[in-house]
Structure 1
Amino acid sequence: MKKLLNTVYITTEGAALRKDGENLVADVDGEERARVPFHMLASIVVFGGIYVSPALMAATSAAGITLVLLDRQGRFQSRIEGPVTGNVLLRRAQYKASDAPIEIVRSIVIGKVMNQRSVLMRSLRDYGDEYAPNDSLSIVKVTERLARIIRRVKLSDDTTDMLRGSEGEAAGLYFSVFDHLIRSPDPELCWTGRSRRPPLDPVNALLSFLYTLLTHDCRSACESVGLDPAVGFLHRERPGRPSLALDLMEEMRPVMADRLALSLLNRRQLRAGDFEIRDGGAVMMSDEARKTVLTAWQERKKEERLHPFLEERAPLGLVAYLQAQMLARHLRGDLDAYPPWLWK
């Protein structure tokens, strides 16, 4: 059980939650493991197969504490709450901010580009001695150009569209050297450019699968705090598109998805034979490869990092939920700005 931002996250499979007086109690294997007074809680987020007593549901609803149920993969299932007093106001603030989103977009772009740069710099530290001189020089030049983009985004009076252009420019630079980061001996596992719907090579198939998993987590995070996942800031709204979930995903994508993909390829946990070419040229992972990726995904989400804004250690799997909460607090006026998540 992890308590952050007045929210308790229950991730231990088979745990049982109950009410004891004015306290939330978490039991594991019949033994009490944690106890939190209701007055210290704003919400409870439950992952997977965890028992929640009816008495606790009634007590949290009466106390204005939101109970969010997610499945084992972190996909949103339901939210249990009493009479709603804040979600309507939060969503109205979200819709209003979407008409003039420049400062939120600026934060998201800064977070994404800084994390892309960190991925490249980490790769130089990990594999710098193995790179050909020209490859190493190319990566260094891209990190320098990304640093200039970060400074420009921080200091300029750009419009929202110009910030979107900076994000696209940074993505182009980042992926221009992505192939240098892949250390697999299989020539088929190379990067030639982004392709989707369908992915046309194994690396794109792997990235698309990981991006889908991350989008699910970010959508669940938005819904868990009462935000509308369809109304974003960086991504324009389209029917059926979870624009806000895609916004939250951007700053996490280089670390949560790209680095995991590189780890799986460079450690040779995935090889060329784990991918299949379907009719029309689409490339898909085999069933066994998907199991390998899902296992690695769940393990990666357990890793803890210091959250630079909260100054607390938190599992990577909770970052989306923390960021959604801070965005909600910013929209309500409790935070002056939305603080992006930065990987260090």
Structure 2
Amino acid sequence: MKKLLNTLYITRQESYLHKDRETIVIKNGDQKLGQFPSLTIGNILCFGQISVSPFLMGYCGEQGIGLAFYTEYGRFLARVQGKQTGNVLLRRAQYRWADDENRSVSIARLMVAAKIANGRSVLMRELRNHGDNPMLTQAADKLANSLRRVKHAKTVAEAMGMEGDAAATYFSIFNELIRENGFVFGGRVRRPPTDPVNALLSFVYSLITQECASALQGVGLDPYVGYLHQDRPGRLSLALDLLEEFRAPWADRFVLTLINRRQIQLKDFVHEASGAVRLSDDARKALLVAYQERKQVEVMHPYLQEQVPIGLLPHCQAMLLARHIRGDTEFYTPYIVK
């Protein structure tokens, strides 16, 4: 199994990163903030006004260290990519499958089904832990019906439509899962997020998308060519496909934990004149620490039947997808929590 490496989150504005022998050095002006062996680093995520030396960029590309840039809001901007790894025959097969509606929908159905099933599991967990709630029960029943319907989707567009309906049902009662006073979720708002809950969701989704992109590239797949999300210049379509499996069990539950345990509070958000809402610098650092700790938690992978750190789940699913596209397995097995 692949080893879970560390991720560097650079949030201090006007920091500068460069390479010194086999280490990565972080400086702010004349002050050295840290120095880390490059062999222990899997990803470097830079938020805001962060500079990286051209030589370190090249080194990250050569060594397969993910290097991505975000705004202070956590909106993804760009990532540095080195030479493509993996068998070119795998990528050629991936592209052919993406052009084949039947093959595309066979994978899209499974990813949408996993998203719906995992969202329903979050609701059922809430019902088990906190007793009967008619709104949650009704939503769970609707999601069960959506899950049955998606198995019969004939096209990717049809699968996407069912995914949209299921997401609307799920988010319509998401506010019922929030137990901390003051946090109110009235619906999903993306660009830009206009309330604290949406700000948290968007930020964490963006982080996990990059985890998925790195995992796909690591097994030799092209993260920009997907089966559920359509091709668009600059869009990590396959990474977004993979993200669907992790939204509810990883991202949403993590956000709910931060709110309900008061690890993140209303005072931790900045409201911009434009109406956008973002995390304060200190709160973003606290979230990233908690996120890194969460990645270390081990769970039983339902298909591989072994304990896997949460941070390696994207790699596991990327590996299973690559096996399916190569023809080693008859079906792709999405990640579904028990």
TM normalised by structure 1 equals: 0.75
SS in 2 for 1:279: coil
CA deviation after TM superposition for structure 1 residue 69, in Å: 3.7
CA deviation after TM superposition for structure 1 residue 171, in Å: 0.3
Alpha carbons of 1:328 and 1:80: their partners in 2 closer, same or farther (altered >3 Å)?
A: same
From 140, 146, 170, the counterpart of 1:143: 140
Tell me the C-alpha RMSD between the 2 structures.
Answer: 2.6
Structure 1 CA distance for aligned equivalents of residues 296 and 320 of structure 2: 21
Question: What's 1:132 paired with?
Answer: none
Letter in 2 for 1:153: V
Q: Is the 8 A contact 2:91 2:222 kept in 1?
A: yes
Question: What's 2:245 paired with?
Answer: 251
Structure 1 CA distance for aligned equivalents of residues 168 and 234 of structure 2: 26
Structure 2 CA distance for aligned equivalents of residues 282 and 69 of structure 1: 32
From 268, 273, 289, the counterpart of 1:274: 268
Alpha carbons of 1:207 and 1:160: their partners in 2 closer, same or farther (altered >3 Å)?
A: same
Q: Deviations over 1:295-342 (max 9, x none)?
A: 111111111111111111101100001101111111000011110001
Q: Is the 8 A contact 2:42 2:66 kept in 1?
A: no
CA deviation after TM superposition for structure 1 residue 10, in Å: 4.9
Letter in 2 for 1:148: N
- Within a 5 Å distance, the mapping from 1:23-102 to structure 2 comes to 47-48=40-41, 68-70=64-66, 87-99=87-99, 100=101, 101-102=104-105
Q: Is the 8 A contact 2:139 2:170 kept in 1?
A: yes
CA radius of gyration, larger in: 1
From 169, 174, 191, the counterpart of 1:178: 174
| Percent identical residues | 48
Letter in 1 for 2:135: S
Question: What's 1:162 paired with?
Answer: 158
Letter in 1 for 2:141: E
SS in 1 for 2:170: helix
Question: What's 1:106 paired with?
Answer: 109
Q: Is the 8 A contact 2:153 2:159 kept in 1?
A: no
Q: Is the 8 A contact 2:178 2:256 kept in 1?
A: yes
Question: What's 1:18 paired with?
Answer: none
CA deviation after TM superposition for structure 1 residue 292, in Å: 1.5
Question: What's 1:56 paired with?
Answer: none
SS in 1 for 2:324: helix
Alpha carbons of 1:80 and 1:96: their partners in 2 closer, same or farther (altered >3 Å)?
A: closer
Structure 2 CA distance for aligned equivalents of residues 179 and 47 of structure 1: 39
Alpha carbons of 1:201 and 1:79: their partners in 2 closer, same or farther (altered >3 Å)?
A: same
Letter in 2 for 1:209: F
Structure 2 CA distance for aligned equivalents of residues 106 and 221 of structure 1: 21
Question: What's 2:211 paired with?
Answer: 217
CA deviation after TM superposition for structure 1 residue 80, in Å: 8.4
Structure 2 CA distance for aligned equivalents of residues 243 and 72 of structure 1: 16
CA deviation after TM superposition for structure 1 residue 246, in Å: 0.3
Letter in 2 for 1:113: I
CA deviation after TM superposition for structure 1 residue 250, in Å: 0.5
Structure 2 CA distance for aligned equivalents of residues 233 and 92 of structure 1: 14
From 304, 329, 332, the counterpart of 1:335: 329
Letter in 2 for 1:274: D
Q: Is the 8 A contact 2:300 2:308 kept in 1?
A: yes
Letter in 2 for 1:176: S
Structure 1 CA distance for aligned equivalents of residues 105 and 282 of structure 2: 43
Question: What's 1:205 paired with?
Answer: 199
Aligned length: 279
Alpha carbons of 1:119 and 1:47: their partners in 2 closer, same or farther (altered >3 Å)?
A: farther
SS in 2 for 1:334: coil
Question: What's 1:286 paired with?
Answer: 280
TM normalised by structure 2 equals: 0.77
SS in 2 for 1:233: coil
Q: Is the 8 A contact 1:76 1:224 kept in 2?
A: no
Q: Is the 8 A contact 1:47 1:72 kept in 2?
A: no
CA deviation after TM superposition for structure 1 residue 197, in Å: 1.5
Letter in 1 for 2:187: G
Q: Deviations over 1:251-276 (max 9, x none)?
A: 11111110000011011111111111
Alpha carbons of 1:194 and 1:10: their partners in 2 closer, same or farther (altered >3 Å)?
A: closer
Structure 1 CA distance for aligned equivalents of residues 89 and 300 of structure 2: 31
Q: Which runs of 5+ in 2 are unaligned?
A: 8-38, 44-61, 70-77
SS in 2 for 1:102: helix
Letter in 2 for 1:112: K
Structure 1 CA distance for aligned equivalents of residues 5 and 292 of structure 2: 12
Q: Is the 8 A contact 2:225 2:231 kept in 1?
A: yes
Alpha carbons of 1:213 and 1:157: their partners in 2 closer, same or farther (altered >3 Å)?
A: closer
From 223, 238, 242, the counterpart of 2:232: 238
Question: What's 2:188 paired with?
Answer: 194
Q: Is the 8 A contact 2:4 2:311 kept in 1?
A: no
Alpha carbons of 1:198 and 1:71: their partners in 2 closer, same or farther (altered >3 Å)?
A: closer
Structure 1 CA distance for aligned equivalents of residues 218 and 265 of structure 2: 37
